[in-house]
C-alpha cells in the first residue's frame, strides 16, 4: 500500500514491537509528528523537556527491558542534543535507535537553517548510522537499524531522515522482524575442551563478570556455572545484578571502588574467568600487576574486546548465554573447599563498612532503600559518589535492576533513565540516586515526570559540593578545592520540586530516613527527597588511578 515516509516509519516501528518513543518535535520532523497524532493508539509518545532527556529515557527503557529504546529529535540542535545520550548508550552497549530529522534533500550540504551532518558527528559513537535519501529504502533501513542495534554486542544506531522523504509516498508491505542470530559459529570443540582444561586444572579460579551477562540474559547459566566450578564471583559496575548479591560465592564489585575481598581474590587467583566484561581501566588498575599470578580465560560476544586491554591465555567468542550452556553441559561438578573457605574468611574480615554514628550517612540511606525494597526496585543513578555508594551498599539481586552510566560517566543521566525505566516497567518501584551537582544538570525533566505522572523517586545526596571531584582534590591535589564548592549557589530542591508539581521531602536526621522512603513509595507520584549529608564523606575503599588493586585507600 502507498503511505507517506512518516507513516512507513511508524508502521516499521510497530513491526519491531515499539510501543513508546521519547522525543521533542521541530520543523524537520513535523511530518513524523503529524503521523504520530494518527498512530497515538499504537505508539505512545513521551514529550521530554530536552532532547538529552529523551535519549537517556530511551536508554533507561532499553536497560530495564532488554528491548530497543527509541528517541526522536529534529534537525540541527535537536539532533546534537541527542549526542551525549547516544555516546552513553554506545559505551555501555545499550540497544537504541535514535531517529533524527534533517533538512530536505536539495538543501543538504548548503549550511541550511538547522542543518548539521549528524551522521558524521555520530559515526564514532554508533554501531552504524544511516541517512535516508530514497523513500523506497526507508523501510529496509529501519529494519536493518533495529537488527544491528540488537545483534552481537548491542549498541545505538541512528537514522537521519530528510524532511521531504517523510512527505513522499512510497510502497509499504509488512515484514516480520528478523530474528537475531545467536549461533556459535566460532566455538569449536577443541576451543571448548581447552577452556574446560584450564578450569579443571585451576586450584583458585575466580569469575569477573560484566554487563554482557545481563545483556545476554545469562544470569541463570552464570549461577549454574559458578556453582559447578565453585568459583567466587566479582562484578564490574555494569555487571551488578548479573549474579545475586546474597549468594555465598559473591564477593562484590571489583576495581577502583571494589571490595577488599574482590581485589585481593583477583590478585591471588590462578585462573581469572572474565565473562561479558571488557577489562576497563577502572577495574584493572595497573595493567602489569592485574591478576599477574593467573591465567586468563575471556568469554565475550565481541571479538574486538579479546586481548584489547589485557592479554588472555584463551578465549571463547560468542553469545554468553549459549557459551555458558555449552560449558555447563560438558564440565563436571568441582570442589575447592580451601579456596572458598579463604574467600569466606576474607568477606568476614573485610566487609564494606563506614563510620556509623548519629549523623545522616549516604551509605545508611542506600542500605535503607535496599532493605525496604528488598532488592526488587529498579535503581538508576547519576555519576560520582552517589553512583559508587549505590553500587556498594544496595543489594542487587536481579538483572536489569541497576541502570547507570558506566563507560561514559554521564552526569545528568539518571533522571531521564529513571523515567524510561518506569515507563517500561510501570509495576516496579523506581529510585534515582543523585548528587546535587548531577541533579542540577537535567532537573528540568521533573516537568516531564509530573506531566505524565511517572512516579520516580529522586533521592538527592546533597553535600553542597561536586563530591567525587572534591574527593580526588582532597586525596591527590592537596585539598585545593577548585570550582567544586556549591555552597554559594545553594538551591532549595524541595521548593524547586514543588514548583514543578512534584512531592518533596527534606531529610536532615538519620531517624527520618525510613519513614520518608516508605511515604515516597506509597504516594505513587514523582517525589524528590533532599538528604543533607556531610561534604567530607568519601567513597571508600579506593584504589588510586593506575595503581595495583592491592593499593587500597581505606580511610
**The pLDDT of residue 183 is above 90:** no
**pLDDT average, residue stretch 502-525:** 98
C-alpha cell at 432: 534515582
**The pLDDT of residue 334 is above 90:** yes
Q: What is the longest distance spanned by two Cα atoms in the chain?
A: 72
**pLDDT average, residue stretch 310-324:** 96
Measuring CA to CA, how many Å separate 372 from each of 84, 133, 158, 530? 33, 53, 40, 18
Tell me what pLDDT residue 277 has. 98
3-state secondary structure labels for all residues of 226-280: HHHHCCCEEECHHHCCCCCCCCCCEEEECCCCCCHHHHHHHHHCCEEEEECCCCC
Which residues of the chain are in CATH 3.40.50.1220 domains? 189-349
Tell me what pLDDT residue 47 has. 98
Judged by average pLDDT, the poorest of 100-109, 180-189, 203-212, 450-459 is 180-189
**pLDDT average, residue stretch 22-38:** 98
In this prediction, what percent of the chain has a pLDDT beyond 90?
Answer: 97
- Residue 113 among the catalytic residues: yes
Tell me what pLDDT residue 501 has. 98
pLDDT in tens, 372-420: 999 999 999 999 999 999 999 999 999 999 999 999 999 999 999 999 9
- Residue 163 among the catalytic residues: yes
Q: Is 135 exposed, middle or buried (0-12, 13-18, 19+ CB in 10 A)?
A: buried
**pLDDT average, residue stretch 60-85:** 98
State the pLDDT confidence band at 182, using cuts at 50, 70 and 90: confident
Q: Which CATH number fits domain 2-171: 1.20.1560.10, 3.40.50.970, 3.40.50.300, 3.40.1160.10?
A: 3.40.50.970
Which entry of 1, 40, 42, 113 is annotated as an active-site residue? 113
- Residue 468 among the catalytic residues: yes
| Homologous superfamily in CATH for domain 189-349 | TPP-binding domain (3.40.50.1220)
Q: Are 432 and 415 in contact (CB under 8 A)?
A: yes
Which entry of 7, 11, 16, 51 is annotated as an active-site residue? 51
Which entry of 91, 256, 468, 542 is annotated as an active-site residue? 468
Q: What are the E-state strand segments in 451-502?
A: 457-462
pLDDT in tens, 417-470: 999 999 999 999 999 999 999 999 999 999 999 999 999 999 999 999 999 999
**The pLDDT of residue 185 is above 80:** no
Tell me what pLDDT residue 329 has. 96
Which residues of the chain are in CATH 3.40.50.970 domains? 2-171, 362-532
Write down the pTM of the prediction: 0.97
Which DSSP symbol is given to 356? -
Alpha carbons 246 and 204: distance in angstroms, whole number: 21
Q: Is 542 helix (H, G, I), strand (E, B) or coil?
A: strand
Alpha-helix residue ranges (DSSP H) falling in 302-435: 320-330, 337-349, 362-373, 385-393, 413-424
Instruction: For residue 138, give the nearest of 183, 186, 172, 88 by alpha carbon.
Output: 172
DSSP 88-126: HHHHTT--EEEEEEE--GGGTTTT-TT---HHHHHGGGS
pLDDT in tens, 88-109: 999 999 999 999 999 999 999 9
Tell me what pLDDT residue 163 has. 98
**The pLDDT of residue 186 is above 90:** no
**The pLDDT of residue 184 is above 90:** no
Tell me what pLDDT residue 193 has. 96
- Level-2 CATH architecture, domain 362-532: 3-Layer(aba) Sandwich (3.40)
Q: Are 430 and 380 in contact (CB under 8 A)?
A: yes
**The pLDDT of residue 162 is above 80:** yes
Which entry of 52, 115, 127, 163 is annotated as an active-site residue? 163
**The pLDDT of residue 142 is above 80:** yes
Q: Are strands 2-4 and 169-171 parallel, antiparallel or unpaired?
A: antiparallel
Tell me what pLDDT residue 359 has. 95
**The pLDDT of residue 488 is above 80:** no
**The pLDDT of residue 489 is above 80:** no
**The pLDDT of residue 111 is above 90:** yes
Which entry of 114, 230, 295, 334 is annotated as an active-site residue? 114
Amino acid at each position: 500500500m502507498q503511505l507517506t515516509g512518516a507513516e512507513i516509519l511508524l508502521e516499521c516501528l510497530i513491526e519491531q514491537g515499539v510501543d513508546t518513543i521519547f522525543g521533542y518535535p521541530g520543523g524537520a520532523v513535523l511530518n513524523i509528528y503529524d503521523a504520530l497524532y494518527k498512530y497515538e493508539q499504537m505508539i505512545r509518545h513521551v514529550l521530554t523537556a530536552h532532547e538529552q532527556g529523551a535519549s537517556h529515557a530511551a536508554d533507561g527503557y532499553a536497560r530495564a527491558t532488554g528491548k530497543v529504546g527509541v528517541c526522536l529529535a529534529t534537525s540541527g540542535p535537536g539532533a546534537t542534543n541527542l549526542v551525549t545520550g547516544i555516546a552513553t548508550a554506545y559505551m555501555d552497549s545499550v540497544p537504541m535507535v535514535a531517529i533524527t530529522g534533517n533538512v530536505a534533500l536539495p538543501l543538504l550540504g548548503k549550511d541550511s537553517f538547522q542543518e548539521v551532518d549528524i551522521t558524521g558527528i555520530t559515526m564514532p559513537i554508533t554501531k552504524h548510522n544511516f541517512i535516508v535519501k530514497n523513500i523506497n529504502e526507508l523501510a529496509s533501513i529501519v529494519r536493518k537499524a533495529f537488527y544491528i542495534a540488537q545483534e552481537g554486542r548491542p549498541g545505538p544506531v541512528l537514522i537521519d531522515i530528510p524532511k521531504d522523504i517523510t512527505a513522499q509516498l512510497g510502497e509499504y508491505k509488512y515484514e516480520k522482524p528478523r530474528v537475531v542470530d545467536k549461533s556459535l559459529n566460532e566455538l569449536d570443540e577443541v576451543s571448548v575442551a581447552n577452556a574446560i582444561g584450564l578450569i579443571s586444572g585451576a586450584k583458585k579460579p575466580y569469575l569477573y563478570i560484566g554487563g554482557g551477562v545481563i545483556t545476554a540474559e545469562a544470569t541463570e547459566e552464570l549461577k549454574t556455572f559458578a556453582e559447578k566450578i565453585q568459583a567466587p564471583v566479582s562484578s564490574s559496575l555494569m555487571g551488578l545484578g548479573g549474579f545475586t548479591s546474597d549468594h555465598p560465592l559473591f564477593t562484590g564489585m571489583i576495581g577502583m571502588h571494589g571490595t577488599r575481598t574482590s581485589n585481593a581474590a583477583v590478585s591471588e587467583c590462578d585462573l581469572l574467568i572474565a565473562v561479558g566484561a571488557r577489562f576497563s581501566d577502572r577495574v584493572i588498575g595497573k595493567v602489569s600487576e592485574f591478576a599477574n599470578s593467573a591465567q586468563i580465560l575471556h568469554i565475550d560476544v565481541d571479538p574486538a574486546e579479546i586481548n584489547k586491554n589485557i592479554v588472555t591465555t584463551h578465549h571463547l567468542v560468542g553469545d554468553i548465554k549459549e557459551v555458558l550452556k555449552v560449558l555447563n553441559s560438558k564440565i563436571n561438578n568441582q570442589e575447592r573447599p580451601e579456596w572458598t573457605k579463604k574467600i569466606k574468611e576474607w568477606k568476614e574480615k573485610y566487609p564494606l563498612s563506614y563510620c556509623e554514628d548519629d549523623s545522616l550517612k549516604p551509605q545508611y540511606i542506600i542500605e535503607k532503600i535496599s532493605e525496604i525494597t528488598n532488592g526488587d526496585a529498579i535503581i538508576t543513578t547519576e555519576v560520582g559518589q552517589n553512583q559508587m555508594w549505590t553500587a556498594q551498599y544496595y543489594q542487587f539481586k536481579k538483572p536489569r535492576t541497576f541502570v547507570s552510566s558506566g563507560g561514559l560517566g554521564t552526569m545528568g543521566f539518571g533522571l531521564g533513565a529513571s523515567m524510561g525505566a518506569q515507563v517500561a516497567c510501570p509495576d516496579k518501584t523506581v529510585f534515582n540516586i543523585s548528587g546535587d551537582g548531577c541533579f542540577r544538570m537535567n532537573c528540568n525533566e521533573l516537568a516531564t515526570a509530573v506531566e505524565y505522572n511517572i512516579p520516580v523517586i529522586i533521592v538527592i545526596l546533597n553535600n553542597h559540593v561536586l563530591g567525587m571531584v572534591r574527593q580526588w582534590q582532597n586525596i591527590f591535589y592537596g585539598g585545593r578545592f577548585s570550582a567544586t564548592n556549591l555552597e554559594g549557589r545553594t538551591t532549595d530542591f524541595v521548593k524547586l520540586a514543588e514548583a514543578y508539581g512534584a512531592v518533596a521531602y527534606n531529610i536532615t536526621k538519620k531517624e527520618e530516613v525510613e519513614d520518608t522512603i516508605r511515604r515516597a513509595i506509597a504516594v505513587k507520584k514523582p517525589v524528590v527527597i533532599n538528604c543533607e549529608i556531610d561534604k567530607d564523606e568519601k567513597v571508600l575503599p579506593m584504589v588510586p588511578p593506575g595503581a595495583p588493586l592491592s593499593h587500597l585507600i581505606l580511610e
